[in-house]
Structure 1
């Protein structure tokens, strides 16, 4: 489509890049990670040495 000015192509490109970045950031921050340190239980292994 040669009748479209290059400025419109640039605006369209920026528009799609912004939508892509917003989509990626929303997907990244919408997932909640569980903190592994809170669920960590320290277990001591007791060995009875009989000498």
Structure 2
């Protein structure tokens, strides 16, 4: 068994100044619908990340 996943940073990669563009959100949604897993990699603590 194998997993297909995308691990990506949040700040400065997916989000810029705390905002994720519509184009990026759409691409991530297509990725998720393909059955793959998205893993956020960040130095933030979870409560802070949930806040943004």
Structure with a larger share of its residues in helix? 1
TM-score (norm 1): 0.32
TM-score (norm 2): 0.32
Structure with a larger share of its residues in strand? 2
Higher Cα Rg, which structure:
1
